[in-house]
Amino acid sequence: MYLSFYGLREVPFAPTPDPKFLFQSARHREALAQLIYGVRERKGFIVLTGEIGTGKTTLLRTLLERLNADTPVAYVHNSALGIEGLLEYVLQDWGVKSTATSHAQRLFELNEFLTEQHRKGGSPLLVIDEAQNLSVQTLEAVRMLSNFETTNQKLMQILLVGQPELRDKLDLPELRQLKQRIALRCHIAPLSAEETRLYIRHRLRIAGAVDAGIFTDGAIQKIVNYSGGTPRVINIVCDHCLLSGFADSKKRIDAGTVSEALEYLEEGERSEWKRRRRITLVPGRAAVWAARSGVAALVMMLIALLAFAA
């Protein structure tokens, strides 16, 4: 809707993770370097944590892009699986045609696959996302999977990804053996004020902006204050700001434009009479505000989750 108006090739603040847009703050660079090192050096257990929306998924996708072809990856998105469901999913993701009907048979098939990969020089990686939701029993069973090893190497690397609650869970006495096996711990913190400014300009440049200074310093400060440095919230706010700027034919996004976007994000459909008044007074704004309706609910849900996690 606003791409040509701002000279953009693509949407700069899309909600879906895209490694092409990865902004490497000092924390992101450190975390990515640790992840690559841990996988390539076959360290066994690795843990990556971060608040909702801090860029864990984008970082993971970047990691997977940089791994060699000899690193088969099984990516478990559904952390509600028990150990049997997890084993079935992993075997399927790695292309193993399983005929197992018991836990012992699944472990045998997994061992056969890992041994064959080791013989070929491969180093399989198991990624479990939202790992904070795994039960203690499932986490303990995952620990047992790390027993697949030679005399000097792990046959499989395991990366647990989750919110900060994962660290608390790993501190439980029942999981002390798992905790002792963790070779690397990485944590992604929210962006600082300066990093937020660089992040916004970085994404605009990647999207094709000749002038990455579309957002004024005052606008960026308002975004910093509202988002707390969480990239996902920054993306939602910036996208709404560009919609507002486009509707008002403003080439620069100032603090006032941010305030208008935030007002809608906070109020959404609850302020129906205000929405109708804006649509009536400003030609073409109907399409802009219609585009916002679904996202307002999304950002409020995200902020509520962040507050709950805190």
Q: Which of these three, 137, 157, 188, is where a domain ends?
A: 188
37 & 167 share domain: yes
Helix axes 83-93, 103-119, angle to 10 degrees: 30
Q: How far is CA 247 from CA 70, 188, 250, 257, 285, in A?
A: 50, 35, 8, 11, 6
49: domain range? 26-188
DSSP state of 154: B
59 with 180, same domain? yes
Residue 271 has pLDDT above 50, yes or no: no
Q: In which order are the strands placed within the sheet that holds 125-128?
A: 73-76, 125-128, 157-162, 45-50, 182-188
List, for residues 54-70, the tens digit of each pLDDT value: 999 889 999 999 988 77
Task: Give the three-class secondary structure for 76.
Answer: strand
Q: Rounded to the nearest 10 degrees, how much is the dihedral formed by the CA atoms of 96, 97, 103, 105?
A: -100
Domain harbouring 87, CATH code: 3.40.50.300
Q: Cβ(83)–Cβ(138) under 8 Å?
A: yes
Q: Are residues 178 and 196 in the same domain?
A: no
234 against 149, higher pLDDT: 234
> What is the average pLDDT across 18-23?
90
Query: Residues 152, 250: one domain?
Result: no
- Both 183 and 35 in one domain: the answer is yes
142: left (phi over 0), alpha (psi -120 to 50) or beta: alpha
Q: Is residue 2 part of a domain?
A: no
pLDDT in tens, 196-208: 999 999 999 999 9
Asked, for residue 265, whether it belongs to a domain, the answer is yes
Cα gap 264→261, rounded to integer Å: 5
For the chain, the farthest-separated pair of C-alpha atoms sits apart, in whole angstroms, at 74
Name the CA radius of gyration of the chain, rounded: 23
195 and 248 share one domain: yes
pLDDT tens digit sequence for 138-147: 999 999 999 9
Q: What is the pLDDT of residue 299?
A: 52
Which of helix, strand or coil describes residue 179? helix
**145 and 264 belong to one structural domain:** no
Interatomic CA distance for residues 47 and 146, integer angstroms: 14
Please tell me whether residues 67 and 140 are part of one structural domain: yes
In a domain, 53, yes or no: yes
| 241 lies in some domain | yes
Are 127 and 219 in a shared domain?
A: no
Measured distance CA(243)–CA(288) in Å, rounded: 6
Percent of the chain beyond pLDDT 70? 86
Q: Do residue 36 and residue 156 come from a single domain?
A: yes
Domain boundary among 135, 154, 188: 188
Q: What is the mean pLDDT of the chain?
A: 87
Query: Does residue 158 belong to any structural domain of this protein?
Result: yes
Q: What angle do CA 168, 170, 176 make, to 5 degrees?
A: 135
Pairing relation of β-strands 125-128 and 73-76? parallel
Least Cα distance to 143 among 130, 155, 154, 158 occurs for 158
CA 98 vs CA 26, 90, 92, 245, 272: distances in Å: 43, 10, 7, 55, 56
Q: At what angle do helices 231-247 and 217-227 cross, to 10 degrees?
A: 140
H or E stretch at 45: strand 45-50
Reduce the secondary structure of 177-210 to three states and give it as a string.
HHHHHEEEEEEECCCCHHHHHHHHHHHHHHCCCC
| 57 is a domain residue | yes
User: Cα(303)–Cα(309) distance, rounded to whole angstroms?
Assistant: 10
8: in domain: no
Given the structure tokens 């204050």, which residue do they identify? 225
Domain tally, the chain: 2
Instruction: Say if residue 30 is in the same domain as residue 177.
Output: yes
Query: Which residues, at least 6 apart from 27, have a Cβ–Cβ distance to it below 8 Å?
Result: 187, 188, 189
> Looking at 188, 216, 245, which one is the last position of a domain?
188
What per-residue confidence (pLDDT) applies to 273?
A: 41
Question: How large is the average pLDDT for residues 109-130?
Answer: 94
In this predicted structure, which of 94-98, 253-257, 299-303 has the lowest mean pLDDT?
A: 299-303
In angstroms, the CA 47 to CA 143 distance is: 13
Shared-domain flag, residues 63 and 179: yes
Closest CA to 158 of 135, 175, 139, 171: 139
Over range 1-18, report the average pLDDT. 92
User: Please, which pLDDT band fits residue 272 given cuts at 50, 70 and 90?
Assistant: very low
pLDDT over 90 (residue 168): yes
Beta bridge partners of 48: 161, 186
